[in-house]
Amino acid sequence: MSESSLRVVWVYPDLLSTYGDRGNALVVERRARQRHLNVTRIDVRSDQAVPTSGDIYLIGGGEDRPQRLAAERLRADSGLIRAAENGAIIFGVCAGFQIMGHEFVNDLGEREPGLGLLDVWTTRGEGARCVGDVLADVDPRLGLPQLTGFENHQGVTHLGQGVQPFATVTVGRGNGTGDGTEGAWRDTVFGTYLHGPVLARNPAVADMLIKLALDVNALPPADTTWYDALRAERIAATTRPA
């Protein structure tokens, strides 16, 4: 696969990179290079234009004010929206997930418009924060193993008719709605609340993004020894009796 090339865009690392979410970009880059793909990673700061020619766009989590600033700049820039319209793969985590929806509650307590890339909207939960390790069963149509990650958010994300839950939680709270849903997806746009970073804990998700970007059904095998050890450790810790 050495003739194939992949452009991975890490969006606003200066605003949205909570809990080591930059690791998601590193994992996608690493998983691609293990298949001898030519990879170009582009880190786009919030004072730069988002290119429309990327293949995979990754957005991390962030605190309330940086999230508002990121949403404002992404709306004004429109590069990410145009990339999605061109069929790019987009994967957002936590604040990045909320920004991809129709609206969320910002640090001023106001409803902030999102990008409308996913048919979801986020309100602020009234109870305790959703905090802790999560295990979830991914939508069977995606053909992925059990999802593991860490959540820490106050948002409650409601899903509209235009999306499907990314996963259903067996441990944890997911979208915070009480219905067991975690994240959302439609076509080539995916959102989740899980940190970890989530692609380090779930390399099969990174591989799925690469396959979608290359429009292939399978990738050559790659070593997963380190990832398997991390997954086993976190899953065991999550399911271990308190």
Please choose, from the candidates 203, 210, 96, the residue with its C-alpha nearest in 3D space to the C-alpha of residue 144: 203
Confirm if 56 and 209 have CB atoms less than 8 A apart. yes
d(CA 118, CA 191): 8
Q: Using alpha carbons, select from 89, 82, 51 the residue that is nearest to residue 189.
A: 89
pLDDT tens digits for range 3-62: 568 999 999 999 998 889 999 999 999 999 999 999 999 999 999 999 999 999 999 999
For residue 236 the two structure tokens come to 């065991």
Higher pLDDT, 158 or 230: 158
CATH architecture assignment, domain 6-239: 3-Layer(aba) Sandwich (3.40)
Question: Model pTM?
Answer: 0.96
Is 1 a residue whose pLDDT tops 70?
Answer: no
Q: What is the mean pLDDT of residues 126-135?
A: 93
- Which residues does the annotation place in the binding site for substrate? 129
Q: What is the pLDDT of residue 53?
A: 95
Q: Roughly what angle, to the nearest 10 degrees, separates helices 22-34 and 203-214?
A: 70
Calculate mean pLDDT across residues 176-200: 97
Angle (CA) 63 64 69, round 5°? 100
pLDDT at 240: 81
What is the spatial distance between Cα 137 and Cα 146, in angstroms, rounded to a whole number? 5
Q: What is the pLDDT of residue 72?
A: 98
Percent of the chain with pLDDT over 90: 93
- The confidence score (pLDDT) of residue 3 equals 57
Query: Which tens digit of pLDDT belongs to each residue from 77-103?
Result: 999 999 999 999 999 999 999 999 999
Pick the catalytic residue from 94, 102, 130, 153: 94
- What local confidence, expressed as pLDDT, does residue 4 receive? 65
For residue 80 the two structure tokens come to 């990410």
Within its chain, how far is the Cα of 181 from the centroid?
Answer: 15
Q: How confident is the model at residue 202 (pLDDT cuts 50, 70, 90)?
A: very high
8 A C-beta contact, residue 197 and residue 218: no
How far, in Å, CA of 84 to CA of 190, rounded? 11
Distance in angstroms (rounded) separating the CA atoms of residues 231 and 116: 32
130 is catalytic: no
* 114 pLDDT above the threshold of 80: yes
C-alpha to C-alpha distance for 112 and 120, rounded to whole angstroms? 13
102 is catalytic: no
pLDDT at 5: 86
Strand order in the sheet with 184-186: 38-44, 5-11, 56-59, 89-93, 189-192, 184-186
The per-residue pLDDT for 242 is 62
Hey, what are 113's tokens?
């418009």
Residue 18's pLDDT is 84
Among residues 102, 130, 153, 195, the one annotated as catalytic is 195
* Mean pLDDT to the nearest integer, 183-205: 97
Report pLDDT digits (tens) over 149-168: 999 999 999 999 999 999 99
Mean pLDDT score, 109-121: 97
Look at residue 127 in the predicted model and tell me its pLDDT: 85
